[in-house]
Structure 1
Amino acid sequence: MKFSARNQIKGIVKAIHEGVVNSEVVIEIANGVEITSIITKSSVEALGLEVGKPAYAVVKASNVMVAVD
């Protein structure tokens, strides 16, 4: 598997909240650290995503904002 995106973060699927069309997928990338993504329900099925299985969060963005208090 190769991607042009540099941010490929491996984790474990912690939860999948299925909707009618889209699903919310929560990937735990470290103890207590999660990334959540909204993808189509058909993509969840095509990828074979299941709670407890490994998956990658692949982040490709033209902008990443940084903020401080």
Structure 2
Amino acid sequence: MSISAINVRNQFRGTIKEIIEGPVVSEVDVQTAAGLVVTSVITTRSVKELNLTVGKEVVALVKSTEVSLATL
């Protein structure tokens, strides 16, 4: 399956900056060329199966039905 075949409009190319591995889930920080950091919480099993490592180039695919905002 190609990335263009996935029904996700928000795609951010970047490099893995940090991985915080837990026993079940892990946090993966992806830094874009613009300096934006997108954090994904995925299973630790997926981290291993995708062979994710710091410095690896990836695409963060964001699909959300809700985004909440608060005033400062």
TM-score band w.r.t. shorter chain: 0.7 to 0.9
Give unmatched runs, 5+ long, in structure 2: none
RMSD: 1.6
Q: Runs of at least 4 residues of structure 1 off by over 2 A?
A: 63-69
Rate the CA distance shift 1:31–1:5 in 2: closer, same or farther, 3 A.
Answer: closer
Aligned residues: 69
Q: TM-score, normalised by structure 1?
A: 0.85
Q: TM-score, normalised by structure 2?
A: 0.82
Shift of 1:17: 0.7
Residue aligning to 1:4: 7
- Structure that is richer in strand per residue: 1
Give unmatched runs, 5+ long, in structure 1: none
